[in-house]
Structure 1
Amino acid sequence: MTKHRIVVMGVSGCGKTTIGDLVARELGVPFLDGDSLHPVENVAKMAAGTPLTDEDRWPWLATVGSELANAGNGGLVLACSALRRSYRDAIRKQAPDTVFLHLHGSKDVLKARTEGRTGHFMPPALLDSQLATLEPLEADEAGFVVDIAVPVDEVVASALANIAAVVPSDEGAVGTRPRHFDVDLSAAPFNLDGGALAWVEETISSMTLEEKIGQLFINHNNGYSPEYLDGVLENYHVGGMRYRPGPSAAVQEHIRYAQSKSRVPLLIASNPEMGGAGSCDDGTFVSTHLQAGSHPDKNIARQMGQVAGVETAALGCNWAFAPIVDIHYNWRNTVISTRSFGNTPEIVVERAKEYFDGISESPTVCAMKHFPGDGVDERDQHVVTSYNTFSYAEWDRTYGHVYRELIGHGVQSIMVGHIGAPEVSRHFRPGLPDADILPATLAPELLQDLLRGELGFNGLVLTDASLMVGLTQAQKRKDLVPATIAAGCDMFLFFRNPAEDFQFMLDGYKSGVITEQRLHDALRRILGLKASLGLHRKSLDELVPPVDALSVIGSDAHRAIAAEVADKTVTLVKDTAGNLPITPETHPRIRLYGISGGADFTRADPLAYLETVKEELVAAGFEVSVFRTAEQREAAGETGVNFMSVLAEEATADYAERYDAAFVFANVKGFAQEAAIRIKWSSPMAAEIPWYATEVPTVFVSLNQPNHLIDVPMVKTAIHAHAGSREAIRAAVAKIQGKSEFQGTFNENVFCDSFDTRL
């Protein structure tokens, strides 16, 4: 691998820091300002206008040489005046292969530039002394001279050309360095005015290094106590937080306290993928993404966004981790089966724009997810690195189209998934071996060359949750934490161990993994996003609404929207036996089965919905008998039961004499724990498996996953109600009876690529 050890030399005002930083960026190596290595005694002398003696310089020059000698794999670009031959010799003593880039300019040019600078400890009066001291590069010194009288881009181009001529390159190394793209805060999606731009720069300049590092983190708040928040904010200076959902009043007070204790206003994130639900316990569930894509009315997605914006803004949130713009190509992929608007780029673009426009009516910015795109691999990045295996051309036509459209539509931030894209990476890094394919969170070719370069995204980039195994399996924690920022992410989602992760990030900066340029570019994007929300103009008591704002959460108006959406989107997938309608008059006695995936990480009762189903059926006039598995009966105190005894009791020849119809309501969840989700029966040959479809009319209703026909192909009537909410259950019961028409639509994924599911 080519190793660059470059010293950018010259007198004060020649542009060593500016040019050095740009050259380092193009080479893909760290940049270091040598002045930062001076001991405090030297800095004090220079600030007072006192020239340094050689005795002052020798220890400093030894440190400069040591930094170059110990540079990482790609090397280092370092700014250092290095005016005398003896100074350069001192550096070469530590790092013999150092190349010197001398930035040369006339006295008039240098004087004009020096007099225009502020905040630097080299007064212009020392320029004459420096010019007198300067000893140009000699013929036996590895280096070259570049004229600074030309525009900066020409200076950089000349420097790079000379470096290429002087520094030996490894064969095949050309074209493998990542590009970097500086933010333009005056352009979309930030669109900052002069006052906001000044606030960003002034805030950055006022920060300590620890505060700068802290801004890169989004904390997952694991407690509501003031003491907990004090510790997070005082020790880690985080730039944003996502709280643990709870009652809306408690969440709002939690956010209010956090904002009151933060020196820089916080980005407060929520996950409003379904409306207000998920952001607080009493928020309104409007629809899933799939549900919003399962009716011709695109306004459903806008309504979902509108309710999400109103309810989360009332809490004090300002950042939505939504919309989801993944495309559900693989029916086996259950992590986004309900969290994608559909299985074509066109439906995803249309509905995602509607959601964005709806939520943007509130003071909220969005983070669409999960770049470079989920839905091809069946696996779940929560538990394993997954891959988007499309060719570059296919990716560009599908996922690329989605991202271009939404970026052009104004989306402010993008959440990057722990998802690799082998063929897309190889488009930018030809010959990249399989072992070097990294998840996008660590892949500069995807974040810089593709997202920043080809797609032109100027906004903020954040990682998905860093505890996901899709990321943690890729590298050691101490390496991956700073590597995400170095690769092009601007914010890091969630600590694993706060003290460790903070130190890993700080060490990554100090070692040069995160360059000065990359750190400050990330900070500008973070603070720019805050300024785009107007947070810099608000007083502390304006950052979070008053308590009475919570009245909109779970309001009657929002519940009415949810009921209307449920009525529109309950979908009849098939009724090949003509079982419908089923009414209390035609089929009064109903055997009701409930199927769940078992308790998940939320610890909620997985069968709680079944009581709601029973209530709605009874209210409609049915007689309802609920089936219980052996395990459920034992939990209720019965003895002497097992799966065989239950099966013998349930599956008898008089089943059709006891019941007129069977309803199976499935609410199978579990993503983020399993790589794929299927129905898990209570036992082999379990009594609840629809053997009875041959005995009585059987209706299968899914309240979550759309792919259950692969496990119950024998049912002839299948309905997708999308949600376990009372509104969705009530609408499904009404439609089973024929009281209202099925209006919802579905895509071919529901048949799971199997012929028998259509029968």
Structure 2
Amino acid sequence: MAGESTAAAEKPRRIVVMGVSGCGKTTIGDLVARALGVPFLDGDSLHPVENVAKMAAGTPLTDEDRWPWLATVGTELANAGDGGLVLACSALRRSYRDAIREKAPDTVFLHLHGSKEVLRERTEGRSGHFMPPALLDSQLATLEPLDADEAGFVVDIAVPVSEVVAEALAGIAAVAGSKAQAGISPAGTAGTQARQFDVDLQAAPFNLDDDAVAWVDSTIRGMSLEEKIGQLFINHNNDYSPEYLDGVLENYHVGGMRYRPGPSAAVQEHIRYAQSKTRIPLLVASNPEMGGAGSCDDGTFVSTHLQAGSHPDKSIARKMGQVAGVETAALGCNWAFAPIVDIHYNWRNTVISTRAFGNTPEIVVERAKEYFDGISESPTVCAIKHFPGDGVDERDQHVVTSYNTLGYAEWNSSYGHVYREMIGHGVQSIMVGHIGAPELTRHFRPGTEDRDILPATLAPELLQDLLRGELGFNGLILTDASQMVGLTQAKKRKDLVPATIAAGCDMFLFFRNPAEDFQYMLDGYKSGVISDQRLHDALRRILGLKASLGLHKKPGAELVPPAEALRLIGSEAHLAVAAEIADKTVTLIKDTAGNLPITPETHKRIRLYGISGGSDFTRADPLAYLDTVKEELEIAGFEVHLFKTAEQREAAGEAGVNFMSVISDEATGDYADKYDAAFVFACVLGFAQEAAIRIKWSSPMAAEIPWYVTEVPTVFVSLNQPNHLIDVPMVKTAINAHAGTREAIRATIQKIQGKSEFQGTFNENVFCDSFDTRL
């Protein structure tokens, strides 16, 4: 890292461990002091007798009580000299910290942050201390988080003590490094500009040896300016022809590529050709969020993220990662845009409703680590997404800028906790979402107006001050897709392209127009928007990631496996994994009328309805899954009567039909005489075309809407979204099968008949904050 020796020589020696009562200042402070080899002092021991008596009586101290004490605290720190000192002190207000800095200007503040619930539990469990738990609310109201110009950082206490200490020591080292890199003395402050953090290629997550670092640096020295600019881009490959690839590589010198799924043989051959034609090996990315299915047409769909979080068995996520790694590596991919570490807090959010492991940080961290460990068994690096975190807003940043509106403290204990854990676990890269974070921005840039809040992709305070600084991320940062309106609405294209790199991103995902975007980036460098330091650092991270994969050691012909490796894709072994997971995760959300089991012996004649939400950009038949449902029901012994909409009947040549006539035909008094039960299978996909997704019926007052729940037992099955009960609260039996695969459909039908047990779990989002969905 640039300035590494200076940082080491100027390691912070005066540390104040701050926070409200119960956060662990004494415990953590003592352990940090031991690790640094300096003395520890509890600041409470410096209170005069009068202050101690007041606090023991439950009387809050006034500022007049505190000033002399704070001066004493500062003096103790200043008198520590070169030996250094770690001191525990609440230091809740900015003015209190300023008072300490008056005596010891180079003090670094370590803020131990915890949720109110965690803090209350800890204070109530303490004895022999003069801070009664009743004063916790008062302290939380008083607490003023660290400002951007204060030397310090935050550590979440909702993890084991050993992890808190490790994060604290990493934060202390980061503060030292940032001061050295910024060219300021230990007694200085960082100011309001974003700090620049140069990469350390021999530290995690790169862990390069001297030879690999030498390759990185010599390769950069041998590049032309155009080659350096090209390395910043990840191309979206829409064409498999050699001529297309020649143009991309010769004209734009891209550092990476990502593929739309296609036949595995075609994808592999395309990657092989690309690697053989490039001077610098390529990062080849895929989207294996569900196993191998996101990388080629014949890849194995193992499970969604939500599905992997819907059973107590955490190894489901590991198996998903293992299959994803094996199948994508067989193609020649080496970079996974996964796992997703968003938290599904808002049930209306359908961007990540099935793409998040769950609605709590704990389940997300647990399953994301499992996925990461599974895919890491293959020669693959990961890009977790979407920093600073999706799942609060209900909108889709593909079509509009969305926002994570959590306050700084709440973000730290939720999304911040997730990112700290994954960074500590070794994740190599992070994809930044086109998601604004107003309160986080204002924490680092007080007074920022609403109109000046930018998506994280363009926000140096989020990428540098927060992600690199407070969270200590040393890896590679890439943007999300640059065509997404969450980014494009923020600035003119010629400005936003270089602004992403200047803000702290290292790679730019997808050209809109290759010639234009390449020139915009080049112009941004020549005009000084992208500094020499920022360009050089981004290039070292890009090539460092390639070297961490060993790409620099392999001839181009060996960067892609032979064609025989494709036999692993969609293999019987992988399909068996998918079937096992489907069986475990089919979830019974409710059966309040006791409709189940339903068997061919008890309910032979089934009226089958399909709900799709309409066709999307893939142009695939949105109701094709119904053929599989019908086939599996008939295999089970049911007699299936498939409902068809007016549009379907017209397409089949029926004349004189309209939605009113269909309603009249369907909703007749003899419905229960014709059918013994009704099954509704919904596979509503929707992606990047609307800001929110709900059921869209085929017509006004459509005949497929479950009006028939009062006539026959009705079972509603979702093959994707978990939030459908808001639109079908009248159904008494609801199941989430998570996927439209044959394995998931077969497992669901088995469970409807009572031939196997429902094992899946669900979170409260399924009830959509409405009482009637539970009935």
- How far apart, in 2, do the equivalents of 1:160 and 1:233 lie? 49
Q: Report deviation, 1:153.
A: 4.9
Instruction: Tell me if the contact between 1:175 and 1:429 (Cα under 8 Å) persists in the aligned partners.
Output: no
- How far apart, in 1, do the equivalents of 2:577 and 2:180 lie? 55
Distance 1:153 1:358, change over 3 A: closer
Aligned to 1:367: 383
Residue 698 (structure 1) aligned to one of 710, 714, 727: 714
Distance 1:576 1:158, change over 3 A: closer
Q: Report deviation, 1:18.
A: 9.9
Per-residue CA deviation, residues 304-348 of structure 1 (Å, 9 max, x unaligned), is 000000000000000000000000000000000000000000000
Aligned to 1:483: 499
Aligned to 2:53: none
Residue 227 (structure 1) aligned to one of 234, 243, 252: 243
Aligned to 2:408: 392
Aligned to 2:293: 277
Greater Cα radius of gyration, structure 1 or 2: 1
Aligned to 1:544: 560
Higher mean C-alpha displacement, 566-575 vs 174-183: 174-183
Residue 719 (structure 1) aligned to one of 732, 735, 738: 735
- How far apart, in 1, do the equivalents of 2:466 and 2:180 lie? 22
Per-residue CA deviation, residues 448-504 of structure 1 (Å, 9 max, x unaligned), is 000000000000000000000000000000000000000000000000000000000
Structure 1 residue 505 and structure 2 residue 532: aligned? no
- How far apart, in 2, do the equivalents of 1:436 and 1:679 lie? 35
Per-residue CA deviation, residues 188-232 of structure 1 (Å, 9 max, x unaligned), is 000000110000000000000000000000000110000000000
Aligned to 2:477: 461
Q: Which amino acid aligns with 2:697?
A: W
Residue 772 (structure 2) aligned to one of 741, 753, 756: 756
Structure 2: any 5+ residue segments left out of the alignment?
A: 8-178
SS in 1 for 2:640: strand
Structure 1 residue 588 and structure 2 residue 585: aligned? no
Q: Which amino acid aligns with 2:607?
A: R
Per-residue CA deviation, residues 546-589 of structure 1 (Å, 9 max, x unaligned), is 00000000000000000000000000000000000000000000
Per-residue CA deviation, residues 594-645 of structure 1 (Å, 9 max, x unaligned), is 0001111111110000000000000000000000000111111111000110
Structure 1 residue 660 and structure 2 residue 676: aligned? yes
Structure 1 residue 676 and structure 2 residue 692: aligned? yes
Distance 1:583 1:205, change over 3 A: same
SS in 2 for 1:653: coil
- How far apart, in 2, do the equivalents of 1:735 and 1:697 lie? 16
Aligned to 1:54: none
Aligned to 1:207: 223
Aligned to 2:426: 410
Q: Report deviation, 1:683.
A: 1.1
Distance 1:154 1:284, change over 3 A: closer
Q: Which amino acid aligns with 2:239?
A: G
- How far apart, in 2, do the equivalents of 1:662 and 1:154 lie? 67
- How far apart, in 2, do the equivalents of 1:723 and 1:595 lie? 14
SS in 1 for 2:184: helix
Distance 1:159 1:756, change over 3 A: closer
- How far apart, in 2, do the equivalents of 1:478 and 1:693 lie? 56
Instruction: Tell me if the contact between 1:599 and 1:606 (Cα under 8 Å) persists in the aligned partners.
Output: yes
Instruction: Tell me if the contact between 2:588 and 2:758 (Cα under 8 Å) persists in the aligned partners.
Output: yes
Instruction: Tell me if the contact between 2:263 and 2:296 (Cα under 8 Å) persists in the aligned partners.
Output: yes
Aligned to 1:516: 532
Q: Report deviation, 1:157.
A: 3.3
Instruction: Tell me if the contact between 2:181 and 2:197 (Cα under 8 Å) persists in the aligned partners.
Output: no
Instruction: Tell me if the contact between 2:182 and 2:195 (Cα under 8 Å) persists in the aligned partners.
Output: no
Q: Which amino acid aligns with 1:526?
A: I
Per-residue CA deviation, residues 679-723 of structure 1 (Å, 9 max, x unaligned), is 000111110000000100000000000000000000000000000
Q: How many residues of Structure 1 are paired with residues of Structure 2 in the alignment?
A: 601
Q: Report deviation, 1:537.
A: 0.2
Per-residue CA deviation, residues 82-132 of structure 1 (Å, 9 max, x unaligned), is xxxxxxxxxxxxxxxxxxxxxxxxxxxxxxxxxxxxxxxxxxxxxxxxxxx
Distance 1:652 1:357, change over 3 A: same
Aligned to 1:441: 457
SS in 2 for 1:564: helix
Structure 1: any 5+ residue segments left out of the alignment?
A: 1-16, 23-151, 165-173
- How far apart, in 2, do the equivalents of 1:747 and 1:177 lie? 41
Aligned to 1:157: 184
- How far apart, in 2, do the equivalents of 1:602 and 1:649 lie? 33
Instruction: Tell me if the contact between 2:181 and 2:196 (Cα under 8 Å) persists in the aligned partners.
Output: no
- How far apart, in 1, do the equivalents of 2:184 and 2:531 lie? 20
Q: Which amino acid aligns with 2:346?
A: N
Alignment of 1:278-427 (within 5 A): 278-427=294-443
Q: Which amino acid aligns with 1:590?
A: I
Q: Which amino acid aligns with 2:373?
A: D
Aligned to 2:548: 532
Residue 749 (structure 2) aligned to one of 717, 733, 736: 733
Instruction: Tell me if the contact between 1:594 and 1:607 (Cα under 8 Å) persists in the aligned partners.
Output: yes
- How far apart, in 2, do the equivalents of 1:441 and 1:154 lie? 23
SS in 2 for 1:673: coil
Instruction: Tell me if the contact between 1:223 and 1:244 (Cα under 8 Å) persists in the aligned partners.
Output: no
SS in 1 for 2:730: coil
Aligned to 1:33: none
Tell me the TM-score normalised to structure 2 length. Answer: 0.76
Per-residue CA deviation, residues 414-440 of structure 1 (Å, 9 max, x unaligned), is 000000000011111111111110000
Alignment of 1:560-599 (within 5 A): 560-599=576-615
Q: Which amino acid aligns with 1:177?
A: Q
Distance 1:547 1:435, change over 3 A: same
Distance 1:388 1:155, change over 3 A: closer
SS in 1 for 2:678: strand
- How far apart, in 1, do the equivalents of 2:216 and 2:548 lie? 11
- How far apart, in 2, do the equivalents of 1:615 and 1:672 lie? 31
Structure 1 residue 179 and structure 2 residue 206: aligned? no
Residue 631 (structure 1) aligned to one of 622, 644, 647: 647
SS in 2 for 1:415: strand
SS in 1 for 2:385: strand
Distance 1:207 1:720, change over 3 A: same
- How far apart, in 2, do the equivalents of 1:154 and 1:338 lie? 42
Alignment of 1:53-72 (within 5 A): none
Q: Report deviation, 1:541.
A: 1.3
SS in 2 for 1:592: strand
- How far apart, in 1, do the equivalents of 2:767 and 2:522 lie? 51
Distance 1:159 1:338, change over 3 A: closer
Aligned to 2:12: none
SS in 2 for 1:340: coil
Distance 1:175 1:300, change over 3 A: same
SS in 2 for 1:234: helix
Q: Which amino acid aligns with 1:597?
A: G
Structure 1 residue 248 and structure 2 residue 264: aligned? yes
- How far apart, in 2, do the equivalents of 1:620 and 1:605 lie? 25
Q: Which amino acid aligns with 2:287?
A: N
Alignment of 1:101-180 (within 5 A): 153=180, 156-157=183-184, 175-180=191-196
Alignment of 1:42-53 (within 5 A): none
Q: Which amino acid aligns with 2:258?
A: R
- How far apart, in 1, do the equivalents of 2:760 and 2:749 lie? 15
Q: Report deviation, 1:244.
A: 1.8
Q: Report deviation, 1:156.
A: 3.5
- How far apart, in 1, do the equivalents of 2:267 and 2:646 lie? 40
- The 4+ residue runs of structure 1 with deviation greater than 3 A are 152-161
Instruction: Tell me if the contact between 1:663 and 1:699 (Cα under 8 Å) persists in the aligned partners.
Output: yes
